[in-house]
Amino acid sequence: MVHMVQALGEFFGLAFQMSWQDAPRQDAPPQAVAGQQVGVSRQWSPSPLLYASAAVHLGAAAATLARPPVWPWALGAVVLNHAVLAAAGLWPRSRLLGPNWTRLPTRTDASGTIAITIDDGPDPEVTPQVLSQLAEYRAHATFFCVGERVERYADLAREIVSRGHDIENHSQKHRHNFSLMGPGGMRAEISRAQESIQRVTGSSPRFFRAPAGLRNPFLDPVLARLQLRLASWTRRGFDTVNANADAVYRRLANPLRDGDILLLHDGNAARTRGGNPVILEVLPRLLDALAVKQLQPVTLRSAI
């Protein structure tokens, strides 16, 4: 029990230190920081769930010290709390662990907008065809790219940017155990991807999307230190595992609303029976539907 309380205390201490060290001084002039607009700073603040978790751990420790026979109940409360934290991390659209874009911010003008986000690339076979489809409709998209793939296919990454799209951070290696990492491992993965994308494209990401959308309580303070926003989605098509283009399209387009953030994949895309990447059969239909509804595809960055 004492070790659990110490671990939670170390987490809050590390996170506070990270946010304090990286927060611009109030008397300092506004300046550009990686991943943000000039004069805009993101400082980390624990979510209500994390405050509640601290209270549970401290209360359990205090109860056990005051009345040792109640330790099974105290331990049960701590275990239940950890289960809640784990569930929050396994729910990609959750805001229980910190801020999370699941929709575009409300616009002040009357025009409808929607964001198409495309993950896991760039892919040398699929991405060029995706770019051609987007160009045909004069649509812009946000590509959440893997850092090492940006380095490997640098010309393709630069082409994405040159066509008016944005490349954002999807970690350096897209590790399947990302949500099990501590703050040091997460920071290394995200920082390396920031550096890779900046070096290749000349543009520093402002958003991060976790591999598979999974995370843990350590992610938000790391993102705050790197001045990145977490972005998930409104709807996804599961197009890495579902080879039925009709089903993927229905998941994304039923219904389409102003402010939606939609998720597709150019990397790791499932293949239809005809051998085509699913995104190439879904994207034109989706763009047609957006045109009918007069919804303009925009990048996440343009909504900041």
Q: Are residues 56 and 164 in the same domain?
A: no
pLDDT digits (tens, 9 = 90+) for 241-263: 999 999 999 999 999 999 999 99
Q: Are residues 123 and 55 in the same domain?
A: no
Overall domain count for the chain: 2
Tokens 């977490």 map to which residue?
A: 230
Q: Are residues 81 and 120 in the same domain?
A: no
pLDDT band at 32 (very low <50, low <70, confident <90, very high): very low
Domain that holds residue 281: 112-303
Q: Are residues 56 and 174 in the same domain?
A: no
- The torsion angles phi and psi of 163, rounded to 5 degrees, stand at -90, 5
pLDDT digits (tens, 9 = 90+) for 75-93: 888 899 888 889 989 999 9
pLDDT at 45: 86
- The last residue of one of the domains, among 31, 58, 90, is 90
Both tokens assigned to 103:
């929709």
pLDDT at 109: 60
Q: What angle do CA 267, 92, 282 make, to 5 degrees?
A: 40
Residue 110's SS3 state is: coil
Helix axis angle, 2-22 to 183-201, nearest 10°:
30
Res 28 pLDDT > 70: no
Mean pLDDT for the stretch of residues 197-218: 97
pLDDT at 260: 97
Mean of all residue pLDDT scores within the chain = 87
Q: How many residues does the chain have?
A: 304
Is 42 part of any domain? yes
Q: Give alpha helix (H) positions in the chain.
A: 2-22, 48-66, 71-90, 127-136, 147-152, 154-162, 183-201, 219-225, 245-253, 278-292
DSSP letter string, 141-158:
-EEEE-HHHHHHTHHHHH
Res 19 pLDDT > 60: no
pLDDT at 3: 45
pLDDT at 2: 41
- The last residue of one of the domains, among 90, 121, 139, is 90
Is 102 part of any domain? no
Q: Are residues 199 and 80 in the same domain?
A: no
Beta carbons within 8 Å of 187's beta carbon, 6+ residues apart: 222, 225, 226
pLDDT at 53: 87
pLDDT digits (tens, 9 = 90+) for 140-170: 999 999 999 999 999 999 999 999 999 999 9
Whether the CB-CB separation of 145 and 170 falls below 8 Å is answered with yes
Q: Are residues 281 and 134 in the same domain?
A: yes
Res 289 pLDDT > 90: yes
pLDDT at 108: 58
Beta carbons within 8 Å of 137's beta carbon, 6+ residues apart: 284, 287, 291, 297
